[in-house]
Amino acid sequence: MSETNIPTVYNPSEVENKWYQEWESKKYFGATVEKEKTPFCIVMPPPNVTGQLHMGHALDNTLQDILTRWRRMQGYNALWVPGTDHAGIATQAKVEEKLAKEGQTKYDLGREKFLDEVWAWKEQYGNRITTQLRRLGASCDWDRERFTMDEGCSKAVLEVFVRLFEQGLIYRDYYITNWCPHCQTTISDIEVEHQDKPGQLYYIKYLSQDNPEDYIIIATTRPETMLGDVAVAVNPEDDRYLHLVGKTLILPIVGRELPVIADAYCDPTFGTGAVKMTPAHDPNDFEIGRRHGLPEIQVIDKKGKMNEQAGKYQGLDRWECRKRLVRDLEELGALVKVEDMSHAVGHCYRCNTAIEPMLSKQWFVKMKPLALPAIEAAKDGRISFIPERFTKIYLNWMENIRDWCISRQLWWGHRIPVYYCQDCEDMVASTVQITKCGKCGGKVEQDPDVLDTWFSSALWPFSTLGWPDKTPELEHFYPTSVLVTGRDIIFFWVARMIFSGLNFMEREPFKEVFIHGLVLDSQGRKMSKSLGNGVDPLDIIDSHGADSLRFMLITGNTPGNDLRFHFERLDGARSFANKIWNASRFVMMNLADYNPGAQGGEYNLADRWILSRLQGTAAEVTAYLERYELGEAARVLYEFTWSEFCDWYIELAKPRLFGKTTPEDRVTAQQVLVKVLRESLELMHPFMPFITEEIWQKLPHQGVTIMLAHWPKPEEKLKDSGAEQEMVILIEAITAVRRIRGEMNVPPGKKAEVILVAGEDYVRSVLERNKAYVQGLANAEVTVLKDLQEKPDQVASAVTKGVEIFVPLKGLIDIDKEVARLTKELKSIETDLARVQGKLSNQGFLDKAPADVIEKEKAKEQELATKSAALKDRLAVFLT
């Protein structure tokens, strides 16, 4: 027999720390290859090694943990692989900040010593987020924890690069890329965040060389780039400019001759219909320039300052250059007008610096050959997106994909494994370090750039399982079962894992992609440092417990949709945990004499009902989990546990526990309470692991931990639709009587006379046989009739399905006193209602008040009107 006493108050901090240490020390999270079992594998989206737990991590990892714990309990060979990402830009920035405080730069140390500093930083701070994930309850196999720059993952990165290089899918070329002047590196298109910013549209006159009376007006938001203009393009069907195609314009201030070219890219209806061509500072101009063989003049350097090609503006910051240039154009008479506007400006997703499109020599992956198989895998159903609507988003991006710039101008990361001979200029890619040229024996130098961080995480589903080695884990667990991730990194990560897995493993990396939304603040805004609206999950765990946080994040959550964080919902989740705790205390307090093998009596209606509802709940929860509707699964569990078990069955079981029936009936009630509570906890465990383990351990059970208990399966023999139908009739009747008592202010201790009228024989039979339930739970003396000959005076009534309910009030309450109380309350409410209606009929108020204030007043009017109507109905009972 297990211990039956638990503390009066649930203390999450004591329970959570105790059980997590137990689980991890006993290796309950561990997964070895068991070929006789069906594999279930999830790879954790690796959080940045620089990061700390935020609400997005909390939601993402809670979802993964629920799925893993559920499948583990179902008997799957369940493996959840944890790990972290080296986060090239962010981590290097952290260490450079540290050096700056010490009065040093990375150049003072040199590359090797700087990397030693970064590794030391990683060792000191890199396990912060994994420690925090443990507090959330993440049941990862921590013995298999990976890091994108560990030996195995690094080996995989080198192997992939060299194979792609040898396949001709990696190349190096000058191209327009997104350059961050602050981070001093390129970033990919999908790492650019576009923000609407106030700006100006500048209209500048470019005069014809042949005829100064003829000109083209150019509209631009970035006049500083005109210093790199090499042509002006117009649409070949734009009659306004056809006479100038092939002619030459003069670039204001600079004096450079600019040919007028015709290209279908130009939209005659946009702006002036003519476009200045700056191939070194605009991706569209770059493409047009390559088609027309235009020169590429770079006028902005890597620090965002004007270079020597900018002439007299050399050395100026790009924004200062804009001011001076506009002033000079105005003095020259070339500035036609300036219009205020709002436009999207690209910013670095790491540091929020405005991106500078810049021509530079970079490494790229050819994406079209890799994208085609990845497109087919989604179209033929080998990979499914949940919700399905994200398939279209994924396909749209893949079908319009551009080559991927994979080089970064950093020191921290996987250094590009390409070596250049200093003598014969041979270039070779190698998985092993080369010290001399294989052709001429000359000295070689390795490319100084590192690979985009996403290059290594694209290999995550198979590199973490041991690839390129043929490991038992790779054979058993690949392809993984499901990827759980946010909608915001479908392009960053999901798409890249898909084409990488198909290319190198010849199999899709996962069968399903479960997409969740973002966690927003209560106003629907994205949480950010700049808004100061972030909520620290660790603070929530300290105040409410991890189980409450997890349950709050899951309830109301639907696949793919964003979730608003409300503290009220968090308090509701904590109340639910306390409800489970208090109900469990009650059950255990009545188990001191419990003998699981004792012979009990027959099940009564309440027993048959709750056992049947337990089977339905188990079936529903399992079905919802199979469909990844975790929020619905949590809702079903909440409703069953709180209402049906705690509020109804426990109350219905009390008479048998308190000695008012036979000993056999007490045993039966105990057996049902234990079974329902234990299996409810097992169903709840994936969602709320800590409290369920704490209570389960104190109940009669088999096994060492609830984590490894068998997932409850519906038992056909316990399904009883008849019992469920009968209990619905009774519950509705009891609820209606209780509502009448509350509305009519009947003292709780006073027994009421209740008349239940049911014309249908079946309903009346149910009420007759079980009126003791109504009498006990509604504190009433019950009479059941087929019809009511004469309705009593001063009676409160209600109607449920098949039942009319009458509660005579005479002698039950002081009617005169109640009429006075209701009249006073009605007068107060109608006064408030008149005041609100007066406001809403005042046109001055409607014109001046903010929309949200008006909406609040309308809501208040509705609420007061509803209360007024209800009070009038109650008064009518006494006055008729």
DSSP 446-487: E-S-EE-HHHHHTTHHHHTTTTTS--HHHHHHPSEEEEEEEG
* Residue 256 to residue 277: CA distance in whole angstroms: 13
Nearest to 233 by CA among 176, 271, 178: 271
Neighbour tally for 353: CB within 10 Å: 15
Helix axes 689-698, 12-25, angle to 10 degrees: 80
Q: How far apart are CA 486 and CA 483, in angstroms?
A: 10
Domains and CATH numbers, the chain: 185-357 (3.90.740.10), 567-703 (1.10.730.10), 724-813 (3.30.2320), 816-879 (1.10.287.380)
Which residue type does 430 have? Answer: S
Give 721-755 pLDDT, tens digit per residue.
999 999 999 999 999 999 989 888 888 889 999 99
Instruction: Supply 673's token pair.
Output: 């309470």
Asked whether the beta carbons of 179 and 357 are under 8 A apart, the reply is yes
pLDDT reported for residue 2: 45
The answer to whether 520 and 528 have CB atoms below 8 angstroms apart is no
Give residue 712's pLDDT. 97
* Low-confidence spans in the chain with pLDDT less than 70: 1-4, 190, 530, 879-880
Is the separation of the CB atoms in 520 and 527 below 8 Å?
Answer: yes
Name which of 293, 299, 284, 331 is nearest 223 in CA terms: 299
Contact call for residues 260 and 236 (beta carbons, < 8 A)? no
pTM: 0.85
305 is in an annotated binding site: no
44, two tokens? 């954790």
Residues 266/235, Cβ–Cβ less than 8 Å: yes
pLDDT given at position 873: 78
Query: Could you count the other beta carbons within 10 Å of the beta carbon of residue 212?
Result: 9
Q: 729: exposed, middle or buried (C-beta count within 10 Å: 0-12, 13-18, 19+)?
A: buried
Between CA 771 and CA 778, with CA 776 as vertex, the angle to 5 degrees is 90
CA distances from 317 to 224, 304, 683 (A): 10, 6, 62
